[in-house]
Amino acid sequence: MARNIKHSKVKNTGVLFELLVRQITTDTLNGIEQSPALKIVKEYFGKGKTLKKELDLYNSLLKEKFKSENKAEKFLTLVLAERSKLSQQALKRQKYNLIKEIGKQYTLESFFKTKINNYRLNASIYQLFESIGSTKVNDPKSILGFKETIVEHISAKTLKTTQEKVIKEYSKQDKSMRILSYRVLLEKFNETYGKALNGPQKQLLKKYISGHGPKLSEHLNKEAKTSSKKISVFANKIDDKITAIKLKEVSNQLKKIEKTKIISESHLVSMMSVYELLEELSNVNKS
């Protein structure tokens, strides 16, 4: 009987790295000058490490975009070919030692509680990588599903066209239908972010569905300006120079949105991410 590959975020290289990066930020904001997470990243994801090579393949599927589905599929095939070259024994050993080291420095239950953006995509990449690294017979239908999820993500043109079509349809609907549409879209965003949206995210989503008029531009401009100032304040409080520089760059990027008059889907996604970042920074600052 074909094996159905289960996801394990404890063994997912992409998830492990993102959680460590977030932990570095948390440690820094809590006044821990020498973050154990930073030391772990340098040791296990350094140049030449097999985990680093696999992480690069994860990132290529998370970040690359292609205008056609055909190119996206070819790119995925090439990534899988490179993944098959990695030593399964080395990966297994390094992951075991990595998790063991994380357990020494942090409570694993709390460490893995953090929600991950693009969780479903990360899971699909892990499951697909595991399928090509296994000698067992795997479920072909499941593998096809993993591939479709990844190809859909890296097919930028197809994804953009679909999103624009959906938003356009929302704007044509009457008030009662918009309410229903909002609930459906809200569930989709909840799946993407891995948790319920916060207040500012919900408010922006409602305004976006209601129409792309001057009121939406005014709201987004105001929110971008306010968020830019808040992030700048957080950046000035952080001793870690690298983290501070990254936050200041986000603040500077928001200044571009402050003046925009035509709101696009990319502006929506950017602000949703900014709200997420502000919530995390606020929570860390309170603890």
Convert the pLDDT of each residue in 79-137 to its tens digit.
999 999 999 999 999 999 999 999 999 999 989 987 777 888 999 999 999 988 777 77
Amino acid at 237: K
Would you say residue 266 has pLDDT above 60?
Answer: yes
Per the listing, tokens 């040791």 go with 43
- Which residue did the predictor score with more confidence, 238 or 149? 149
Convert the pLDDT of each residue in 141-194 to its tens digit.
888 999 999 999 998 644 444 444 444 444 444 444 344 444 545 555 555 554
Query: What is the number of alpha carbons within 13 Å of residue 112 lying toward its C-beta?
Result: 14
Specify the pLDDT at position 159: 41
Convert the pLDDT of each residue in 35-88 to its tens digit.
899 899 999 998 899 999 999 999 999 888 898 899 999 999 999 999 999 999
- Work out the angle at residue 167's Cα, subtended by the Cα atoms of residues 161 and 173, and round it to the nearest 5 degrees: 140
Specify the pLDDT at position 285: 63
- Which residue did the predictor score with more confidence, 111 or 32? 111
Domain ranges (residues) in the chain: 13-154, 158-286
Q: Pick from 95, 182, 190: which is nearest to 133 by CA?
A: 95
82 — phi, psi (to 5°)? -70, -40
Specify the pLDDT at position 196: 63
This model's pTM is above 0.85: no
Would you say residue 220 has pLDDT above 90?
Answer: no
- CB of 27 within 8 A of CB of 19? no
Specify the pLDDT at position 75: 96
Long-range contacts of 6-10 (CB under 8 A, 24+ apart): 6/127, 7/123, 7/126, 7/127, 8/126, 9/112, 9/116, 9/119, 9/122, 9/123, 10/99, 10/112
